[in-house]
Amino acid sequence: MEWEVVIGLETHTQLRTNTKIFSGASIKYGAEPNTQACEVSIALPGVLPVLNKEAVQCAIKFGLAINAHIAPRSVFARKNYFYPDLPKGYQISQFELPVVGKGAVTIQVPAVGKNSAYEKVVNITRAHLEEDAGKSVHGAVEGMSGIDLNRAGTPLLEIVTEPDMRSAAEAVAYAKKLHELVQWIGICDGNMQEGSFRCDVNVSVRPKGTEKLGTRREIKNLNSFKFMTQAIEYETRWQIETLEDGGTIQQATVLFNPDTGETRSMRSKEEANDYRYFPDPDLLPLVISEADKDAVRATMPELPEAMKARFEAEYALSSYDSNALTTSRDLANYFVATVDAGADAKQSANWVMGILAAKLNAADTSIIDSPINAQQLAQLLRRIGDNTISNNAAKQVFEALWNAEGSVDDIIAAKGLKQESDSGAIEAIIDEVLAANAAMVDEFKAGKEKAFNALVGQAMKASKGKANPAQVNDILKKKLS
Amino acid sequence: MMNSSPINLSLSQLGEMLQAKKISSVELTQTFLDRIQQYNPSINAYIALDEGKTLAQAKAADARIAAGNTAPLTGIPIAQKDIFCAKGWQTTCGSKMLANFIAPYDAHIITQFDAAGAVNLGKTNMDEFAMGSSNETSYFGGVKNPWSFDRVPGGSSGGSAAAVAARLCAAATGTDTGGSIRQPASLCGFTGLKPTYGAVSRFGMIAFASSLDQAGPMAKSAEDCALMMNVMAGFDERDSTSLNREKEDYTRDLNLPLQGLKVGLPKEYFAEGLDASVGKVIEAAIAEYKKLGAEIVDISLPNTGLSIPVYYVLAPAEASSNLSRYDGVRYGHRAAEYTDLMDMYNKSRAEGFGAEVKRRILIGTYVLSAGYYDAYYLKAQQIRRLIAQDFVEAFKKCDVIMGPAAPSTAFKAGEKVDDPVAMYLQDIYTISTNLAGLPGMSIPAGFAQSDDGVSLPVGLQIIGNYFDEARMLNVAHQYQQVTDWHERMPELVLPKEVK
Amino acid sequence: MALSIEDIKKVAHLARIEVSESDAAATLTKLTGILGLIEQMQAVDTTGIEPMSHSQDLSQRLRDDIVTKTNLRDEFQKNAPALGNGSTEPAVAGGLYLVPKVIE
């Protein structure tokens, strides 16, 4: 039987605020245990929550970015369960009325093997505001767990998709797209190591061609795309094998173990979950007006989709190039700055995504930390455009710029890379070459095209590589005709 | 030092004496501390006393008075219900769970009283987590009604009630989730006000049922309550349900005449279930209001009977969640012996909470649990709206509503302790105002003879429309100008000088 | 909806309150009485009535995103319970609250 995997994601994005969602305690990462756990964070008797304005604005930004319905009235609810990292014994979340409703994200699924790349729309079910829990630390005291509540109350936006994805590649493409988007609109720092972007992946399988969803298992807390791929692939195989062996799938929460590459069912926490959601009486309904949305919209950067369309229209870039340049806001900004500094758009696109990207990748550096800034790259590209240097020479200049050896023009001068564009001088060189290689000229005239290239080569050699190759071509053609 | 005892003086009289330096705050405070020492062992109104802290505040108040930097309550000793966190004070909420909890911060109202220069006399006894109508669920023991020591003072603010009635403080604070200020005010014979929900910040007030809890004053007279409200009420940005309204002077209307006041009498408040002796006192009080120029209007609050079932869904549901934080992890009671995390939770909570609190947690958990939410919680919220709408209709016909605050006078300790349903019916006349979020008060209206021949106080309830506290206080004050029920003091605790 | 001993045990477990067999029976009697009181609600037709969560029809106020809290850990941890199981030491170490091992 052929199987189909069905995947939906729930992503917890930590919002980029200064303070917690319901109190004025800092959310800075890495503080000493419980030093950022205020009376609200540790749930002292009598404390009350007050909602952080910035967290709400982040939610609105996200809603606008995915063209979602933003609820004019949403409600905070309590999700009740006992766990030592949950100090109130309930998590304040949103249940029946989330702040962000249905929306959509378009993803580009890269080519894998013989399958070519394609675009796909992933539907977003909802996104809701909630508070994070604290952390349990093991090993500090023998046989005990230590509870650190610094993270308790950190604002999260939980983004839930429809079960729209059909492969690990699609799921990862979605996760990457979302990861870029939340950073693009500035609501999340995207730091996966620190847990700022965590994915829970719901996986089920069904016979291909059937409609009914299979029983799903939820893989919790994946914080790397590599693990996500491994976990989904393992889980899918496991479920198919289980079913093919005549077994059944039980709904479960599972954890992925990166060391073994396997998923396993969690032992505690879930049992018979009965969260007893009810509206939090300490909080009033969150009301968002059209004016509130407009105010947030005014602060939003141009979104990747819009920018992509603009690149195609304004710079005549291909859809592929425009898409690639808008995978991250920093990359797009770098590209635009290069063009704004006077470089040719197509050439800028090629260099930014080609040589520069490769170099950054090899050096494990991000584009905002690039040793060559957009102005320098633009100057380099302008020197190609005005025939000062050849493409080959430009690569040498690029290396020197990377190593901070000076300005573009200084490097060209210092390395003597300026190309010869004086047609008189080139003519003189060509005349010499023709005189010295009469045999080749004869061969060319006899119809051997190859001889022409050999003559170009000789001319370039005679100019010590500095002659403008295009000019050499033109003049040589004229002389031989 | 004056010759006669200042314990029966009003807050404004005490304020005048303090400011005229006829008495110092330290002297006044010491007078009450002495009375507490004398009577508290039998009445058990206070859970926590700290003479050092209290007298230091009194000294500071005297310094403020000397510097001329005074507010109306500067130097006046106030008892605080042990539901309010007060920094450095043991704050137990009447529970073993918090028996060793020292609050590391101040509730909003504590901050307000401190800023006014009032003196914190101590923390008063209460039903555990404010769940009770007789103060018998307190981990720290029951409280005696100063009018009859074998009777209960009502609850849950029973300690504050007994303290006000026995003159063990100048005034006190209470909280009212279903009647916890008004019912004890009725049973102990003094004036208590539950303000409009949101008028007094809940920050630092230990939660029972968040959508119903409201703090208010418990004092000898309406005028005293108005002065207390001036300190307690006001916007607080730390409570999302705090009403952002301009600060008001609750004494401003005290002296307005009542000519033309429309008093609504809901027929449901005078039906079966009301003690005939209590009914008689209420009727006499209504007659007095007629003399003051009030016009009586018959009204109906048809859903009154449903207020108790609705309340016993909503309040326990909220409480079951509010009390989940008491898990023995960060503060509060942790079992001495446990095998694992689950065992620690189960034992700590089983040991830390008393029977009534556990019952309400279980009921609340049950009504919220999967499969029952719609039939109980949602249904109760819908009926809550019907109950609130009854009042909207009623206030189209009248300015204030009057009736009994409690169906009977103080009952004997132990009488209802094993019958939660009978106990819950104590709040039949008070709960619906909590559900609607309306202000309500109870004022002394006379005495009724018990079966065993004891004369016990009866309270008249006055219910106002939203934000009408000043009007209600006016209505109460005018009555107190022509009656002296509010000045009566229990024989059992009369000081020697005035005996 | 008649309550059973099993219901009591299930709810007690959800609420993390240990209930002995004899307690469960006594609790059942009392809770059945309270539920009887509550059942009166079922006679009311509430079709189309908007549930009421708050007495005032207001919306949530928003707080500026400014750090206002300072580190009061040591103050707060003075209230830590005793560790238990033979130890009267406070259940904290290195700033962490200590609980029996959490198993995932």
Q: Give C47→chain B minimum CA distance, Å.
A: 9
pLDDT band at C1 (very low <50, low <70, confident <90, very high): low
Q: Within an 8 Å CB–CB cutoff, is residue C48 touching chain A?
A: no
Interface of A with C in 264-303 (CB under 8 A): 266-269, 274, 276, 279, 281, 283-287
Q: Give B349→chain A minimum CA distance, Å.
A: 12
Q: Which of A42, A44, A278 sits opposite B317 (nearest CB)?
A: A278
Interface of C with B in 60-99 (CB under 8 A): 60-61, 63, 72, 75-76, 78-85, 91, 97, 99
Selected residue of A15, A17, A19 to mutate for chain C interface (largest C Cβ count, 10 A) = A19
Catalytic one among B81, B96, B144, B220?
B81
Token pair 């994200």: residue: A105
Q: Is A212 left (phi over 0), alpha (psi -120 to 50) or beta?
A: beta
Q: Which amino acid is at A114?
A: K
Q: Within an 8 Å CB–CB cutoff, is residue A49 touching chain B?
A: yes
Q: How far apart are CA C72 and CA A305, in angstroms?
A: 47
Catalytic one among B156, B157, B242, B307?
B156
- Work out whether the CA dihedral B347, B349, B352, B358 comes out positive or negative: negative
Interface of B with C in 167-226 (CB under 8 A): 197-198, 211
Token pair 């909570």: residue: B349
Interface of B with C in 85-104 (CB under 8 A): 100-102, 104
Please check the confidence at residue C66 and state whether its pLDDT lies above 70: yes
Q: DSSP assignment, residue A292?
A: H
Contact C78 B306 (CB under 8 A): no
Query: Residue A468: what pLDDT?
Result: 83
Q: Give C30→chain B minimum CA distance, Å.
A: 7
Contact C97 A39 (CB under 8 A): no
Please check the confidence at residue A83 and state whether its pLDDT lies above 50: yes
pLDDT band at A423 (very low <50, low <70, confident <90, very high): confident
Query: Residue B499: what pLDDT?
Result: 41
Contact A284 C59 (CB under 8 A): yes
* Residue A470 CB coordination number (10 Å): 12
CB contacts, 8 Å: B438 with chain C: 55
Query: Residue A435: what pLDDT?
Result: 87
Contact A38 C69 (CB under 8 A): yes
pLDDT band at C104 (very low <50, low <70, confident <90, very high): low
Contact A141 C53 (CB under 8 A): no
Interface of C with B in 33-62 (CB under 8 A): 33-42, 44, 46, 49-56, 58, 60-61
Q: Within an 8 Å CB–CB cutoff, is residue C74 touching chain A?
A: no
| Angle in degrees, CA B232, B238, B240, rounded to 5 | 100
Burial class (CB in 10 A: 0-12, 13-18, 19+), A141: middle
Q: Is residue C19 part of a domain?
A: yes
CB contacts, 8 Å: B91 with chain A: 45
What tokens appear for A473 in the block?
């071509």
- Domain limits for position C16: 5-42
Q: Is residue C34 part of a domain?
A: yes
Q: Give A37→chain C minimum CA distance, Å.
A: 7
Secondary structure class of C13 (helix, strand, coil): helix
Query: Residue A51: what pLDDT?
Result: 98
pLDDT in tens, A393-403: 899 999 999 99
Structure-derived torsion over alpha carbons of residues A245, A250, A255, A257, reported in degrees to the nearest 10 = -10
Query: Residue B1: what pLDDT?
Result: 41
CATH code at C20? 1.10.20
The answer to whether A106 touches A89, Cβ cutoff 8 Å, is: no
Please confirm, yes or no, whether B95 is among the known catalytic residues: no
Contact C101 B341 (CB under 8 A): yes
* Residue A178 CB coordination number (10 Å): 25
> Longest C-alpha distance within chain A, in Å?
101
DSSP B158-183: HHHHHHHHTTSSSEEEEE-SSSTTHH
Q: Is residue C99 part of a domain?
A: yes
Number of domains in chain C: 2
Q: Which of B210, B331, B341 sits opposite A281 (nearest CB)?
A: B210
Interface of B with C in 268-327 (CB under 8 A): 305-306, 308-310, 312-313, 320, 324, 327
Phi, psi dihedral angles at A348 (to 5 degrees) = -60, -45
Please check the confidence at residue A465 and state whether its pLDDT lies above 80: no
Domains and CATH numbers, chain B: 6-268+279-301+390-498 (3.90.1300.10)
Chain A nearest-CA residue for C56 = A284
Contact C31 B424 (CB under 8 A): no
Q: Is residue C13 part of a domain?
A: yes
Flag residues of chain B having pLDDT under 50. 1-3, 498-499
Contact B101 A276 (CB under 8 A): no
Q: Is residue C66 part of a domain?
A: no
Q: DSSP assignment, residue B296?
A: E
Q: Domain map of chain A by residue range?
A: 3-292, 302-415, 423-480
Kindly report the three-state secondary structure assignment for every residue of B229-290: HHHHCCCCCCCCCCCCCCCCCCCCCCCCCCCCCEEEEEHHHHCCCCCHHHHHHHHHHHHHHH
Q: Which of B350, B375, B421 sits opposite C37 (nearest CB)?
A: B421
Q: Is A416 left (phi over 0), alpha (psi -120 to 50) or beta?
A: left
Query: Residue A267: what pLDDT?
Result: 57
Average pLDDT over residues A464-468: 80
Contact C104 A138 (CB under 8 A): no
Q: How far is CA A140 from CA A34, A377, B337, B396, C92, in A?
A: 15, 52, 21, 66, 11
The residues near A239 (Cβ < 8 Å, ≥ 6 apart) are: A5, A203, A204, A205, A214, A217, A249
Q: How far is CA B347 from CA A309, B68, B337, C33, C82, in A?
A: 63, 55, 8, 26, 14
Catalytic one among B148, B180, B201, B320?
B180
Query: Residue A141: what pLDDT?
Result: 83
Token pair 């009671």: residue: B333
Q: Is residue C56 part of a domain?
A: no
pLDDT band at A272 (very low <50, low <70, confident <90, very high): low
Please confirm, yes or no, whether B242 is among the known catalytic residues: no
> Could you give the residue ranges of the DSSP H alpha helices within A386-416?
391-402, 408-415
Please confirm, yes or no, whether B240 is among the known catalytic residues: no
Q: How far apart are CA B87 and CA B97, in angstroms?
A: 18
pLDDT in tens, A330-347: 999 999 999 999 999 999
Q: Within an 8 Å CB–CB cutoff, is residue C78 touching chain A?
A: no
Q: Is residue C76 part of a domain?
A: yes
Look over chain A and give the mean of its residue pLDDT values, rounded to a whole number. 93
CATH class held by domain A423-480: mainly alpha
CB contacts, 8 Å: A80 with chain B: 320-321, 324, 368
